[in-house]
Chain A
Amino acid sequence: MSDLVTLKIDGIEVSVPAGTMIIEAANKIGREIPVFCYHSKLSTVGVCRVCLVKVGTPGFDRATRQPILDVAGNPVIRFFPKPMPACSTPVSAGMEVITESKESLADRQAILEFLLTSHPLDCPVCDKGGECPLQDLTYAHGRGESRFEYQRKHTSPKKIPLGDLIVLDTERCIICTRCIRFQDEIAGDHVLAIENRGRDAKVVSYTEPKFDSKYSGNTTDICPVGALTSRDFRFKDMNKPGVRIWELTNVPSISNYCNMGSNLVLGTHVGEIRRVMPRQNELVNEIWLTNKTRFGHHFHSSSHRLTAPLIKENGKFKQATWEDALSLIATKFHEAGEHIGGIAGPHLSNEDLYLFQKLFREVLNSNNIDHRICLNSAIDDDLAYEIGVGIGTDIGQLAENSAIFLLGSDLDEEASMLYLRVRGAVRRGCHLINANGRYTKLDTVANTKLRYNYGSAVHLVLGMTATILDEGLEDKNFVYARLEGIDKLKTKLQAYTPEKVADITGIDADIIRQAARDFAKAENGIILYGAEAGNDTALHASIRNLALITGHVGKKDNGVTAILPHCNSRGAADLGVIPHRLPGYHPVADEIGMSAKEMLQPNHGLQAMYIVAADIVGEVVTCKSAIETTDFVVVQDLFMTETAKLADVVLPAKAIAERDGSYTNLERRVQVYDPAILSPTPTCWADWHIITAIAGRLGAEWTHASADGVMQEITEQVSLYKHMSFENLTKPISLERKRQHYIYSGMSFTADVREGVQWATRAENQASFFELKFIEPENDMPQSDIILVAPRVAYDGGMLISQAEILANLIQQPKATLSPSVAQRLSLSKGDTVQLTSSVGSVALPIAIDGKLPDNVVLTPRNLAGSVAEQLLDGHNIFIGVKIVH
């Protein structure tokens, strides 16, 4: 830490690190200096001048260079003749600051008066009214009446759409540039800028499509006036009357789209969700939300929701009572005996998932359960259980001396919230090694960019590991104390020196070496791996070895985590919705059950299937026949999905905001969400409730009456979750932590924080022992000139997000993205259609051209409507060789 500097603010002494700005020092002792342009998450520009304070420093005698002392022996403070901006004046030793001097108060009053010369007084109709810093500060410091008459800016244009989601009212803008700084610094999308000067200055976006950013909604939160408003909350724009913010009931919740489990607040009015605002949690989403989370809530109020149980008779669904539906299910499940399989979607809460596996294992005596449809299978569960990321890891706070090794994931699309945090870490000096087969957005900030050939990620990791062992960079204490088999590993790795893997990976040996050194030498190291790295056990073993030998395990800000696709993928694995593991990663005692992959083969031999919150056919269209051939299928969902259409019984469930529950995010943080609204009809039941009812019909004597109660049982049964009772999870954070969290003025959201609880991995136990495993990588490089890569994208073709009309234009349509040279070779131009053929299937797709794509890659997002990519990939691979025909 740098040296501390002691200064006096309003007579109170405070010590802060040198280089701190006055405003932050004042914040430390609870003095709020009014601000508009300053934001603690953004860089300082000092343009609004409302934070002017009186500043003095000890006087020095010029001749003697000694401080001048008064009669009492105290240094004489010489105040600067002009007020200083607190946001951009660094502290110095002995400095004295008066935050509310007569001059400062007059300055504030004058600044506000000036601001209001070009700001309309339309607070009664402004969407920011009631949570507007300008309004608040004008009440606190304003003059009451303006002496200015000219209203030049009052005529500036209103309601300029900045993209589909955000609306700009130029007349309200005070040019604080917070939105621009957010886009440039936090989001990394340079799509906003100030145009012109003086009175003509205005925020513009010329990029096509306008204001193209996945994070643009956050600018409306940090806008200190009502200049930027979201079309979703702005009155009438989404065919809904406007609501004033004080009429909203705010309920804490968790994002169901975000694998980091972004904390949010649901603003509800008359039983409907009207807006989604971030809830501050510095360990998860700081104060940001992705647009998908913010605007994707409309499925709750969709008119397509299932409202009553449906039973199929003669190929047609008929509305039924719960009584009838449950009896039928119980009879059929009973008949099926052990020929029953269950698939639960990773969007379910921990409580649902736990009861789901309990139903199968204890009541139906079957291990045929899974949550891994398509890409989920790429994730190795052992790594999270054994190593994971250390408890208290805060990627958003990583700074110098730390390194992040990101392998095979486009965070911007797959884990948008993590993208913001990793980007923030890099800005603070963290070393980012971004390894992928193609350009991803983090390449713009990555310190080391590694571009491997698809299929060779494992060789890259092995090459790095070999370098570390070769150069003796391993964490010797850790290796000595807690590892076994290092010598064996060393000999094995001799075949994988950087020189030897350079060819197959396509990365220069020196660069691999340098990356290995950077990662090993960093004090804290985190490995994030995604699906584009591959999904073989050799890769997971090599990642494990790399983390272990560098000692980056079992402590804060260290570890390994997979980029899981869904909001509760982690919880599903933790709680045993997987054929070979019981809750808490205990291996199953009896026979291992069928995996989703096996259950979805056409000749699976199952008589009954219970599918909860998973649109299997929607995600992998090739699974259709497997479900059709099953005698009896129960689907429990919110909507009549493609899968539900094939079911015999369809059960209506409650959506996330209509019930409580908990999610476990990819850092293993368990967080609860509260019920906010009522379900469309009382005949929608919570998933855990339905599962309990089915179990009851099958003779089990379960007594669960609430999600809370289910969690209570989990805490007793699953040792990993022993601290996860709702009582624990809903605890507000300590006051001290809240103080650290405190964000200065200009927040229009609640900061009532629960931080969630992480469960401890095996590595967390300092006495735990690890054996290094080496698995020879199979050479599964796709043998083709052109490789189809199918990553996940944020705006997918999912059922829930497609209910949000406001996001309709953003949802990606299936297309094949090619590099310009491939397009040229095949004489293709934009708008053409190509036929892609792999060993499993063939589809026709319109093309797009991306100059940043490698020449041997064609990109097709996998989680889009129609699941086109899955048809080429058989639903289980990540990449495959394809032929392209015009």
Chain B
Amino acid sequence: MTLVKEFVDGTVEIGRAMGITLKYFLRKPVTNQFPDEPVEVYPRFRGRHVLNRYENGLEKCIGCSLCAAACPTGCIFVEAGENDEENPVSLGERYAVRYEINMLRCIFCGYCEEACPTNAITLEHDFALSEYDRWDAIYTKERLLKPHAPDHIKVRSDEVFVERYGWGNTKDS
């Protein structure tokens, strides 16, 4: 008796389980074929840092070190120099000679972005930051200044975001 019962019960369970499998088999998958397909992130996603430039090519960073001061993990290192008036690197008298971020230490809190008086540093959307060498995780100024828009990242439009959750609208109510 028990043998038969066990057989029937087992069959039903397997059938149920297969049902779930079949159900999800037919649905659109939630996983993403990364990196073959791009990943969608929200516009405010805080990923890899980028140093920005003005349209005329001058660096926005003035080497004030406020980002380094705001950084809770101390992963930013700035050394400032004085601009050559003929051939300036940034607006004003000061510019960053060295600008380094240790990505292994960074917790992507965005305080640097908040502290920056010139919007020079912003946290963009790249999250795929693994390196083969630990030293490569220290991002230099040259790397940070390069425009960085990798193919594997797609930013969701703000509208979708606002529509779905009803918040995050940039306009003051």
Contact = CB atoms under 8 A, between A and B. Distances in A.
Most chain B CB within a 10 A radius of its CB, from A235, A237, A242, A244: A242
A158 interface: yes
B69 A242 contact: no
A465 to B, nearest CB: 61
A124 B93 CA distance: 11
Interface residues of A, number: 16
A565 B103 CA distance: 53
A403 B45 CA distance: 74
Contacts of B63: 125, 235, 242
Interface in B109-125: 117-118
A247 interface: yes
Nearest to B115: A124
A144 interface: no
Contacts of B79: 241-243
B81 A235 contact: yes
A246 interface: yes
A122 B62 CA distance: 10
Contacts of A159: 93
Given A158-B93, A159-B93, A236 B65 contact: no
B51 interface: no
Contacts of A247: 65, 68-69
A241 B69 contact: no
A234 B68 CA distance: 19
Interface of A is mostly: loop
Interface string A228-261: 0000001111000111101100000000000000
B62 A125 contact: yes
A240 to B, nearest CB: 9
Most chain A CB within a 10 A radius of its CB, from B63, B68, B93, B117: B93
A100 B27 CA distance: 69
Interface string A433-468: 000000000000000000000000000000000000
B97 interface: yes
B75 interface: no
A125 B68 contact: no
A122 B92 contact: yes
Interface in A122-161: 122, 124-125, 129, 158-159
Given A122-B92, A125-B94, A242 B80 contact: yes
B65 A241 contact: no
Contacts of A237: 82
B64 interface: yes
Interface of B is mostly: mixed
B145 interface: no
B94 A235 contact: yes
Interface string A92-128: 0000000000000000000000000000001011000
A122 B79 CA distance: 17
Interface in A660-687: none
B62 A246 contact: no
B98 interface: yes
A241 B80 CA distance: 5
A124 B81 contact: no
Nearest to A159: B93
A593 to B, nearest CB: 53
A246 to B, nearest CB: 6
Contacts of A244: 64-65, 68-69, 80
Nearest to A247: B65
B98 A124 contact: no
Contact of A246 (B69, B81, B118): B69
B153 interface: no
Nearest to B82: A236
Interface residues of B, number: 18
Contacts of A242: 63, 79-82, 94
Nearest to B77: A270
Contacts of B138: none
A246 B69 CA distance: 8
B137 interface: no
Contacts of A246: 69
B66 interface: yes
A237 to B, nearest CB: 7
A242 B98 CA distance: 11
B60 to A, nearest CB: 12
Interface in B6-43: none
B13 to A, nearest CB: 65
Nearest to B69: A246
A160 to B, nearest CB: 13
Contacts of A124: 62, 64, 66, 94, 117-118
Contacts of A241: 79-81, 97-98
A158 B94 CA distance: 13
A17 to B, nearest CB: 44
A117 B44 CA distance: 37
A236 B81 contact: yes
A244 B65 CA distance: 7
Interface string B55-87: 000000011111011000000000111100000
Interface string A631-670: 0000000000000000000000000000000000000000
A237 B63 CA distance: 15
B92 A125 contact: yes
Nearest to B84: A236
Most chain A CB within a 10 A radius of its CB, from B68, B82, B117, B118: B82
A159 B118 CA distance: 22
A50 B82 CA distance: 33
B80 A235 contact: yes
A129 B63 CA distance: 13
A234 B80 CA distance: 10
A122 B117 CA distance: 10
Nearest to B96: A241
A72 B43 CA distance: 69
Nearest to A169: B93
Interface string A693-735: 0000000000000000000000000000000000000000000
Contacts of A158: 93
Nearest to B92: A125
A122 to B, nearest CB: 7
Contacts of A236: 80-82, 97
B73 to A, nearest CB: 15
A235 B62 CA distance: 12
Contacts of A122: 92
A235 B92 CA distance: 13
Interface in A203-240: 234-237
Contacts of A125: 62-64, 80, 92-94
A431 B118 CA distance: 58
A267 to B, nearest CB: 14
Contacts of B92: 122, 125
A247 B80 CA distance: 12
Contacts of B97: 236, 241
A124 B96 CA distance: 12
Nearest to A234: B82
Contacts of B65: 243-244, 247
A247 B70 CA distance: 11
A124 B69 CA distance: 11
Contacts of B118: 124
A241 B65 CA distance: 12
A624 B124 CA distance: 68
Interface of A: 122, 124-125, 129, 158-159, 234-237, 241-244, 246-247
17 contacts: A124-B64, A125-B93, A159-B93, A235-B63, A235-B81, A236-B81, A236-B82, A241-B79, A241-B80, A241-B97, A242-B63, A242-B81, A242-B94, A243-B65, A244-B69, A246-B69, A247-B69
Interface of B: 62-66, 68-69, 79-82, 92-94, 97-98, 117-118
Nearest 6 CB-CB pairings of A with B: A124-B64, A241-B79, A236-B82, A242-B80, A125-B94, A244-B65
Given A124-B94, A244-B64, 10 more contacts: A124-B64, A125-B92, A158-B93, A235-B82, A241-B80, A242-B80, A243-B79, A244-B65, A244-B69, A246-B69
